[in-house]
Amino acid sequence: MGCGCSHAKNLVDTPVACAQRSRRASIEVPTLYDLGALLGSGTFAKTYKGKRRTDGFDVAVKVILKKHPNYKATLVEREIDIMSRIQCPRCVSLMDVIETPTAIYLVEELCTGGELFERLIQLGHISEKDAAVIIKQVIEGIAYLHSKEIVHRDIKPENLLMMSSNSKSMQYNMVKITDFGLSSLKHQEDDSMTTACGTPEYMAPEMIHCALIKDKKRRAGQGYGEAVDIWAIGVILYIMICGYPPFFHENRAVMLFNIQHGCYNFNSDEWRGISKRTKEFVSLLLTVDPKFRPTASQLLRHPYITNIKTLDTRNLNSTAKLSMYMETRRSRKALNAVRAVKRMEILVQHPSPSFKETREITRLQMIDRLKLIQSDINIESDIHIGELNIM
């Protein structure tokens, strides 16, 4: 798979789009864009394929209904603010914003190639070199975002889209980062960089640690930074190589423990024959202590990225397991990942040890602690009390 860009510093602002904020009467929306097929649904929004009437240009239109019970104006405003700052070929662009009394329409760049993992499953082939080419593009996008002081906070396979479905197009192998609904600015004045969000399987240890702290003042001094995006990239690379995640466990408390302590390995058959370079790079991304996790800019100078051409091109035969993993994710959507950690964060009644201390306590002590936390979480939470009975 190819990469159209060699370094984040070359990702200059492009003329694809510059978001124009406007307030128009609702009757004007269909006169500006024709809405077509539903592309996807979120918590309080639906995205449709659209066509700009003036020139027939294909777009994606995200429709956010203000009457939806989960609608929060401040979050939408933050998403618009952040997307308006982004002009990078590795990120989906915001092209227009239309606000009416009943809804907000975010007109975005359309990606027709589907989700990254779905493309890999469709092709039935991925090599170490392919994985490196893909991950380089993601790191380039993250390096750009971090240079703008934007932390994505929800890097996962579903938020990595392929630009084109046309195998003959130069954009066929282009990866785009999307969905900035949970993104935040590094120096945001609110508490967004101290709250847990995203999908537990891709959460960094320091984000989970913040979720375990009840006291807001104490949590404010324990916030996380842009390194959470780097961790998530490491999880994605691990999955591409072997077809399954590094920390997954049916018992969610065990999974959280594994993440906090970096409990993963390369001992399975899928990792035999994988180069030392690839393993070392994965381990670098999955460094538990964020202070020692490299930045995106540093990663782009790493030999694993600068010498991609020398990586093995043999098929890793991981797409069958990857397909099973994605099917499992789809079937577990009822276990809403964001609500699980958010409820844990809000309802926890037991003080949390410091980040350094959590690395020094035993596994059973951590599991016991997570059991105590779970006892205070509503039974409707995604992490059910029954899941924690592992003894």
Q: Dig out the tokens for 148 from the structure.
A: 């703008």
How many whole angstroms separate alpha carbon 341 and alpha carbon 31?
42
- At 113, is the secondary structure helix, strand, or coil? coil
Judge whether 154 counts as a catalytic residue: yes
CB of 79 closer than 8 Å to CB of 181? yes
Q: How far is CA 362 from CA 67, 76, 205, 271, 344, in A?
A: 47, 41, 16, 28, 21
Q: Is 66 marked within a binding site?
A: yes
- At 253, is the secondary structure helix, strand, or coil? helix
How many whole angstroms separate alpha carbon 50 and alpha carbon 142?
27
How many whole angstroms separate alpha carbon 268 and alpha carbon 143?
32
User: How do beta strands 150-151 and 160-162 pair?
Assistant: unpaired
How many whole angstroms separate alpha carbon 375 and alpha carbon 388?
10
Q: How many residues does the chain have?
A: 391
Q: Where are the alpha helices (DSSP H) in 286-362?
A: 296-299, 303-306, 319-331, 337-347, 355-358
- Active-site hit among 154, 179, 229, 382: 154
Report the binding-site residues for ATP: 66
Report the binding-site residues: 66
Q: Which residues are catalytic?
A: 154
